[in-house]
Structure 1
Amino acid sequence: MINNKALAIILGGGQGSRLYPLTQERSKPAVPIAGKYRLVDIPISNCINADIKRMFVLTQFNSASLNRHIKDTYHFSFFSSAFVDVLAAEQTPHNKTWFQGTADAVRQSMHHFLRHDFQYFLILSGDQLYQMDYEHLIEEHEKNDAKISIATIPVSAKEATEFGILKSDDKNVITSFIEKPDASLLPDWTSDVSDDMKKEGRHYLASMGIYVFNRELLEELMQNPDTNDFGKEIIPQAIDKHKTMSYQYEGYWTDIGNIDSFFEANLGLTDDIPKFDLYDKKKRIYTRARMLPTTKVAGTALERTVIAEGCIISAAKIEKSVIGIRSRIGDESTVINTYMMGSDYYESLDEINNKRIPILMGIGERCFIKNAILDKNCRIGDDVRINGGKHLEEVETDTYMVKQGIVVIKKGATIPKGTII
């Protein structure tokens, strides 16, 4: 067990504008995923599975819901040194600015980290979906006597232009780095990858934004106030001076960078054999333990659908959709290719029976919903028709936004009866 050798730093990212409007009222790591989890549960769970139980989550935007989720979720033994702490950007006598990048976030928070006893910084992203064995990553780092290790994933030529691409030698030592290379440069940037990856046309090593640094080295690198970002400055400048290893990962990994990738990652969970396996008992994903009743379904045809706890469903049909906690879907409604995040609370029978609420939380009766994301606590009136797709122009209103053909209903929005989008 690597246990206390590593301290994990989970980078919460900036304003999360590419995931807007899901980040309108919450930070990126707090965005609900897979019907019952939050994005931040992924790196935290990977850490717990690797017996790394001291974690800091760095954020600076809308951190209240993230704080609440972590406080309500991750309780360790009173006699343990384990913790998950959220560090929001703070003004100090020495620094009066927001985080200027990933490295600057670590630099500004360094005084919190150095109070602890550890050998390695494990730097992680708070907005990726994957299941990695960090224990093996750090073991390889030690075995190779590396100063820095970077988790890399083989990608195709089409994907390579969107990533920082690394070139490594036959011993997996990284020799050069280029950020988002032009397609014309790619022939010079192929690396040695496995035969399986070659068959898939994945010849280039992309940085996953997952790093292991020796403690003393990162302390030294943080002395330069002009370096604000790991991918753009710290890593390229360090490669020639410090032994930097590539740790090749060939499992499922996706960067939840925009609405489209977020949508695809969630709907991918409905596949017969999902690439992201929530059912692997050795790689469990942890989240808040809720005391919710079982889900109740009446008269609904279900096809490739994932349903979380506490739902009340009497829809006609649900197909290739993820239905989140406490969701309610009314009679004769059809839901296709949709991620419904669910609700934070139930409305009482008294409120429902006495019609004190004009439009109930959830999806009403006789609705048709396709290619949509319904954020938490939405109210969709009866006979609403939402038909997302590339035919729709991008637009934003007070209650919804069309982005990359996906209709995103904003958190807490009410869509009146009979609305057509």
Structure 2
Amino acid sequence: MPRETLTLVIATGHGSGLEPLTRHRNKAAVPFGGIFRIIDFSLANCLHSGLRQVLVLTQYKSHALQKHLRDGWSLYNPEIGEYITPVPPQMRHGSDWYAGPFDAICQNRYLLERSAARRVLILEGDLIYRMDYAEMIRAHQESGAAVTLAVREAPMEQAPGQIALSLSEEDLVMPAPRQDGLPAENGSAQLTMGVYLFEMDYLLAELTRLSIGDEDDNPLDTDEIDRLAATGRVFGYRFGGERGRVTPDRYWCDPVSIDAYYQATMALLRSEAPLDLYQSNWTIYTYQGQYPPARTVPGPSGTEGIFVNSMLAAGVLISGGGVNHSVLSPRVRVRDGAIVEEAVLFDGVEVGEGAHLRGCIIDKEVVVPRGTQIGLDPKADRERYSVSPQGVVVIPKDYRF
């Protein structure tokens, strides 16, 4: 069944809410969890679900994403019809870039028409969750649906603008789409979650009736899905059920802002993290350089390097510094006497001697001078750096102190 499915991963979004982390990359390519990129979660779901024909629609500052796909996702064999292929705007019917997710699909209609697949799985590639798509495909076939939407249960206020569906206790039911946000009886609603499965013939027939979009890169589940729901048989597939091979942690995150991204990262450090990264048969694949193991050593002063309740990637070296409740990406260096607390450090960051970092995100290759303090004085931080509404300090790539 999965081999009869063509997968489109929408990775066109700017991710303006994640500025300045998206200054040099798009949202799907933003690092997460020390070694991953956000798009790795959707692609890993495809891999484990047996989906072997994957098109990644790219646009905004896509070089980092395309390099990551080349280095980390050259797993499939094109000789037997397998591929993960980036597709920037082809401009086959005009000179416009993608105006939005559904416009990206419309512009690549020819890729759908020449495919032998019977159905199309459309994924938003800038979301973080684990899901067995093969089970959703099986349920879709069992129901005879034209369109199946994956849905999750959550308070409506957590996802303004998403479609709320009225579901029974069955995993797969005929929903009543609505945009009014009325909660379910238990105070929550069934919300769409960026996973859409279409019968190929049905989607091709409907594409001609879809608007080209506007200048905003809107989510797929706004006007277009609502319109499709009104014209055909649309079912909801309950996320996090017992069907499927992935453990039902029911975790789903859209890091729409710096604060949401930071909170999702810090949640990985809980004793029982909401997102299970350690299921042995559901590995989240990514690209990792050939770096030596992470290590702590004494610094020149004789102080031992230590870390407490933190995630350290390969190549990290803590020489006389202290790291607490933080996530460190590959090749990070923490020098003698430096303190790193509740921080997220991207690839190649160097923290100088005696520096003190707290509650911050530092983008790749930034060198923090010795003695620098970040996250300790809110007033001083706002005068010098980018600071989120909840006080997370963000130091962008190429920042010069």
TM-score by length of 2: 0.88
| 1:364-412: CA deviation from partner (whole Å, max 9, x where unpaired) | 01111011001011110000000168x5599586xx4112211111112
For the residue of structure 2 that corresponds to 1:221, the secondary structure is helix
Is 1:363–2:351 an aligned residue pair? Answer: yes
The answer as to whether partners of 2:29 and 2:65 remain within 8 angstroms in 1 is yes
Gaps of at least 5 residues in structure 2 are 241-249, 298-303
| Cα distance in 2, alignment partners of residues 316 and 99 from structure 1 | 47
Within a 5 Å distance, the mapping from 1:17-56 to structure 2 comes to 17-56=16-55
Residues 78 and 121 from structure 1, CA distance in 2 versus in 1: closer, same or farther, beyond 3 angstroms? closer
Change (3 A) 1:177 1:4: same
Alpha-carbon deviation of 1:145? 0.7
8 Å Cα contact 2:325/2:342 also seen in 1: yes
What does residue 398 of structure 2 align with?
Answer: 412
Assess if the C-alpha contact under 8 Å between 1:165 and 1:206 holds in 2.
yes
Tell me if structure 2 keeps the 8 A contact 1:227–1:234.
no
Encode CA deviations 1:339-364: one digit per residue, 9 max, x unaligned: 10122xxxxxxxxxxxxxxxxx5100
1:155 and 1:394, CA in 2 relative to 1: closer, same or farther beyond 3 A?
Answer: farther
Q: Kindly indicate whether residue 162 of structure 2 is the aligned counterpart of residue 163 of structure 1.
A: yes
Structure 2 counterpart of 1:73: 72
Which residue number in structure 1 is paired with residue 247 of structure 2? none
Q: Distance in 1 between matches of 2:255 and 2:130?
A: 14
1:210 counterpart residue number: 195
Q: Which runs of 5+ in 1 are unaligned?
A: 192-197, 344-360, 416-421
How far residue 128 of structure 1 moved from its aligned partner, in angstroms, is 1.0
Name the aligned partner's letter for residue 240 of structure 1. A
Identify the range of structure 1 (308-317 vs 133-142) with the bigger mean alpha-carbon deviation.
308-317
CA distance in 2, matches of 1:219, 1:315: 61
In the comparison of the two structures, how many residue pairs are matched?
A: 377
- Give the CA deviation at 1:112: 2.4
Does the Cα contact within 8 Å between 2:354 and 2:371 map onto a contact in 1? yes
Task: Flag the 1:78–1:53 CA change in 2: closer, same or farther, 3 A.
Answer: closer
Structure-2 change in CA distance of 1:396 and 1:167 (3 Å): farther
Q: 1:246 aligns with which of 218, 225, 236?
A: 236
Match of 1:401 in 2: 386
What does residue 173 of structure 1 align with?
174
Q: Does 1:190 align with 2:190?
A: no
Percentage of matched positions with identical amino acids: 25
Kindly state the Cα deviation for residue 74 of structure 1 after the two structures are TM-superposed.
Answer: 1.7
In structure 2, the residue matched to 1:234 is: 224
Deviation track 1:312-357 (CA, whole Å, cap 9, x = no partner) reads 11243211110000111101111111110122xxxxxxxxxxxxxx
Alignment partner of 1:100 is 2:86: no
Query: 1:78 Cα deviation (Å)?
Result: 5.1
Distance 2:147 2:383 in 1: 44
1:126-156 deviation line (CA, Å, top 9, x unaligned): 1111100101111111111111111111112
Superimposed CA distance per residue, residues 233-257 of structure 1 (whole angstroms, 9 cap, x where no aligned partner): 2221122321111111131111121
Please give the alpha-carbon distance, in whole angstroms, between the structure 1 residues aligned to 2:119 and 2:29: 26
Separation (CA, whole Å) in 2 of partners of 1:374 and 1:261: 16
More displaced stretch, 250-259 vs 221-230: 221-230
* Structure 1 counterpart SS, 2:310: strand
Matched residues in 1 for 2:159 and 2:346: separation?
32
Q: What letter matches 1:385 in structure 2?
A: Q
Q: 1:73 to 1:237 in 2, by over 3 A?
A: same
Instruction: Report the more deviating stretch, 157-166 or 4-13.
Output: 157-166
Give me the whole-angstrom Cα distance separating, in 1, the residues matched to 2:129 and 2:108: 26
1:314 aligns with 2:315: no
Q: Matches of residues 74-93 of structure 1 in structure 2 within 5 Å?
A: 74-75=73-74, 76-77=76-77, 79-92=79-92
Distance 1:26 1:368 in 2: 27
Partner SS state of residue 35, structure 1 = coil
Q: 1:80 to 1:146 in 2, by over 3 A?
A: same
Compute the displacement of 1:97 (Å).
1.6
